[in-house]
A = this chain, B = another copy of it.
Amino acid sequence: MLWDLIGSGAAVLTMFGFVPQILKILRTRSVQDVSLVMLLQFSLGIFFWLLYGLYIRDNILIVANAVSFVTLVIADALYFKYRNG
């Protein structure tokens, strides 16, 4: 029961980990200190996790990484929107 909470907490916290960064970009419209390499590296990595989840047909991997991937696409788009000021 405790360990279910820790596992679920881990999943939720990391799955939505980029949401605070997205909200901050929307608020400040500035991405000067945000690493584009970080965003692209996570985007590709999470996409690979999603593909791997589909391959091994693991629903938790699929859902968690599909959600994360959507947040990363949003973060990437905002980065390019605001990169020049």
Contact = CB atoms under 8 A, between A and B. Distances in A.
Interface string A14-25: 101111110111
A49 B17 contact: no
A51 interface: yes
Interface in A8-67: 9-14, 16-21, 23-25, 28, 30-35, 37-38, 41-42, 44-46, 48-49, 51-52, 55
- Oligomeric state, in copies: 2
Contacts of A3: 52, 55
Nearest to A68: B14
Interface of A: 3, 6-7, 9-14, 16-21, 23-25, 28, 30-35, 37-38, 41-42, 44-46, 48-49, 51-52, 55
